[in-house]
Amino acid sequence: MTAPLRIALAGLGTVGSGVIRLINENGAMIAQRAGRPISIVAVSARDRNRDRGVDLSPYKWVDDMDALAAEPDVDCVVEMVGGSDGPALTLARNSLSHGKSFVTANKAMIAHHGMELALLAESKGISLKYEAAVAGGIPVIKGIRDGASANRIERVYGILNGTSNYILTTMEKHGSDFDSVLKDAQNLGYAEADPGFDIDGVDAAHKLAILAALSFGTEVDFDGVEVAGIRGIMSADIGQAKALGYRIRLLGMARMDGGKLFQRVNAYLVPESHPLAHIEGSTNAVVAEGNYSGRLMFQGAGAGDGPTASAVVADIIDIARNDGGTVFSMPADKMVKGGRAESGNRTGRSYIRFVVADKPGVLAEITAAMRDAQVSIESMIQTEKTNEGSVLISMVTHESLERDVTQGLEKLANSSSLQGDPVVMHLLSDED
Ligand SMILES: NC(=O)c1ccc[n+]([C@@H]2O[C@H](COP(=O)([O-])OP(=O)(O)OC[C@H]3O[C@@H](n4cnc5c(N)ncnc54)[C@H](OP(=O)(O)O)[C@@H]3O)[C@@H](O)[C@H]2O)c1
């Protein structure tokens, strides 16, 4: 057997301690598969005295995480700290500059700085790997970069945030409202005390921007993702969707549209016949549609110490095997700027829900605004009064331009009948 791959771990929290446990437990088998052992030589975190449930005594402790980049006995640095900028980014830049391969679980950093880091890694001829950054334990980066590499990917989309999916599917199961499910999820540790990144769609947008770059050969463009979360969704919406044969899921959706990149995170009505409608709880699922492979679906745990460690160590094994390759699916200096497709030009059916005052003429006001904007309504339901005495009106449009729907809603923006902003969700179809 050849010399071990010597790795340094930065960050010993959920993911970092999972990586140590996995390497300790499966090390002998991994050495056989990789052709050489993986040897942890140095570790770093903030608090040296914290009990992490793993024995750190065999490893050199380094107080200043950034010093790992220059450690002479280290071949590969593994970053499990987090944050798009700050110490994680400094460590990535310095490790690659020192010629060390780099593995990260950090979606925010790859979404914001992936191009810069990929160019740096490729200019040095070393690996930068990030399987754990998208959908945790699911090998979707490898699946698209390697397994589907012969295909033109038509679109890539999926359930990319476990917390949001847990909330939506719990609301679906128990008919409970958003706030109480979020509070329960926080008490159970499924949602962060500050859940914004998850429920406002930002975390899913990080992952979507990475998947889009990988799928279409376009530069990572996080700022080009249209992002909306799930805070506004009521249990009545879930009931209406069900009555129409749909389930509500927060999806990341990306495709090329007239040569430009379309990227969106939003709640969609997913037909019950689609496999994504059956993804429950905190599970993630990614669909990639290749022009020869057809629909591929990758499903599994999107977070947690075990699944995420599994993805991190798979990257480390690739490096031990010298299975290099490009960071994305083509050399970073050949990736193109995608440009941004205008969502207003897209056509589709939309679900729109209003909360309105219980007074005569409101329905007529809404239908007139939609008619004036050239949006034709396929169905419309007025539900019972809420506790506050308001009425919910839900409608589904026929195929319409999204720009026209927006225009219809703008006509209603100053209406005294509306209580709060309407919620708009698209119905997932083959054309999205
Ligand atoms: N958790 C998941 O299921 C999951 C799934 C996929 C991807 N990820 C990604 O994996 C990364 C790590 O997540 P995590 O859940 O493991 O986070 P975590 O439990 O909060 O652990 C973060 C670790 O980083 C250390 N750290 C923070 N700032 C540091 C600094 N300035 N210098 C040195 N060490 C520092 C912390 O040290 P102390 O322990 O001493 O405070 C801690 O050990 C993030 O990028 C996250 O997005 C996580």
User: Distance between terminal CA atoms of the chain?
Assistant: 51
Q: How confident is the model at residue 408 (pLDDT cuts 50, 70, 90)?
A: very high
**Token pair of 222 as six digits:** 């996080």
Averaged pLDDT for residues 301-309: 95
Give me ligand 1 centre to Cα 194, in Å.
Answer: 16
Averaged pLDDT for residues 68-76: 97
Amino acid, single-letter form, for residue 117: L
Give me ligand 1 centre to Cα 106, in Å.
Answer: 9
pLDDT tens-digit series, residues 321-368: 998 889 999 999 999 999 999 888 899 999 999 999 988 899 999 999
- Do β-strands 38-44 and 5-10 pair in parallel, antiparallel, or remain unpaired? parallel
Alpha carbons 427 and 432: distance in angstroms, whole number: 9
CB 253 within 8 A of CB 264: yes
* Residue nearest atom 39 in ligand 1 by C-alpha distance: 13
pLDDT tens-digit series, residues 15-25: 999 999 999 99
Choose which residue among 63, 65, 80, 94 to substitute to test ligand 1 binding: the one with the highest number of ligand atoms within 8 A of its C-beta. 80
pTM exceeding the 0.85 threshold for the entire prediction = yes
Averaged pLDDT for residues 52-60: 97
Give me ligand 1 centre to Cα 105, in Å.
Answer: 9
pLDDT tens-digit series, residues 111-137: 999 999 999 999 999 999 999 999 999
- Do β-strands 226-227 and 153-159 pair in parallel, antiparallel, or remain unpaired? unpaired
Choose which residue among 62, 66, 81 to substitute to test ligand 1 binding: the one with the highest number of ligand atoms within 8 A of its C-beta. 81
**Token pair of 379 as six digits:** 């169905």
Minimum-distance ligand 1 atom for the alpha carbon of 79 = 11
Give me ligand 1 centre to Cα 81, in Å.
Answer: 4
Which of 294-298, 328-332, 358-362, 428-432 shows the lowest per-residue confidence on average (mean pLDDT)? 428-432
pLDDT of 430 reads 79
Give me ligand 1 centre to Cα 12, in Å.
Answer: 7
- What is the SS3 assignment for the chain? CCCCEEEEEECCCHHHHHHHHHHHHHHHHHHHHHCCCEEEEEEECCCCCCCCCCCCCCCEECCCHHHHHHCCCCCEEEECCCCCCHHHHHHHHHHHHCCCEEEECCHHHHHHHHHHHHHHHHHHCCCEECHHHCCCCCCHHHHHHHHCCCCCEEEEEEECCHHHHHHHHHHHHHCCCHHHHHHHHHHCCCCCCCCHHHHCCHHHHHHHHHHHHHHHCECCCHHHCEECCCCCCCHHHHHHHHHCCEEEEEEEEEEEECCEEEEEEEEEEEECCCHHHHCCCCEEEEEEEECCCEEEEEEEECCCHHHHHHHHHHHHHHHHCCCCCCCCCCCHHHCECCCECCHHHCEECEEEEEEECCCCCHHHHHHHHHHHCCCCEEEEEEEEECCCCCEEEEEEECCEEHHHHHHHHHHCCCCCCECCCCEEEEECCCCC
CB 423 within 8 A of CB 237: yes
Averaged pLDDT for residues 62-82: 97
The closest of 207, 197, 199 to 183, measured between CA atoms, is: 199
CB 307 near ligand 1, within 6 Å: no
* Residue 322 CB-density burial (10 A; 0-12 exposed, 13-18 middle, 19+ buried): exposed
pLDDT of 234 reads 94
CB 381 within 8 A of CB 326: no
Minimum-distance ligand 1 atom for the alpha carbon of 16 = 16
pLDDT of 355 reads 94
* Residue nearest atom 27 in ligand 1 by C-alpha distance: 81
CB 17 near ligand 1, within 6 Å: no
Please say if the pLDDT value at position 1 is more than 70: no
The C-alpha angle with vertex 148 and arms to 143 and 150, in degrees rounded to 5, equals 155
The closest of 249, 254, 251 to 221, measured between CA atoms, is: 254
CB 46 near ligand 1, within 6 Å: yes
CB 111 within 8 A of CB 210: yes
Any idea which residues carry the catalytic annotation? 207
Averaged pLDDT for residues 173-178: 95
Alpha carbons 68 and 12: distance in angstroms, whole number: 14
**Max avg pLDDT among 3-12, 341-350, 352-361, 381-390:** 3-12
